[in-house]
Structure 1
Amino acid sequence: MKSVLTMTDKLIAELPHMLEEHKAIKAALAELVNAATKENKPEYAEFADKLKLHAQTEEEVMYPAAILVGEIVRMKFRN
């Protein structure tokens, strides 16, 4: 279980950098959507939209859930 704490601490430390990377990725994906629309390539726009949704899910669900689980494990170790 201590490995969970190590991973949680690493995620917390790296999260700001990961979120900055997501901003850059989302900006690039917005450009891809624009280019795909201009070139009549809806499959590329759809790919970009799915990837943006994936990043959003990580930011809003997965990362917070992983941190929460780690903090619960940390509390169990304290008791």
Structure 2
Amino acid sequence: MKVTVKSWTGVATWRWVANDDNCGICRMAFDGCCPDCKLPGDDCPLVWGQCSHCFHIHCIVKWLHSQQVNQHCPMCRQEWKFNNK
């Protein structure tokens, strides 16, 4: 028996693979987006520090700019360095 597919609609979902479900700064879900963005995904990516903590890129950049002298991870207070995986 031979079957012919006349129409096909693909449906997919995506999830960030992070060490937590929520951003430690804005407390919004990683599957969503930060308060500054309208849509999740590539426009609101996640970034990891060498300490392994993960944040929305917009949240950690704001956090780092708000620090006067030393730029530390808001979770563990280690010096913040972006992890170049």
Q: Which has the higher contact order (CA 8 A, sep 6+)?
A: 1
TM over 0.5: no
Which structure features the higher share of helix residues? 1
Greater fraction strand: 2
- TM-score interval, normalised by the smaller of the two chains: under 0.3
Bigger CA radius of gyration = 2
TM-score (norm 2): 0.25
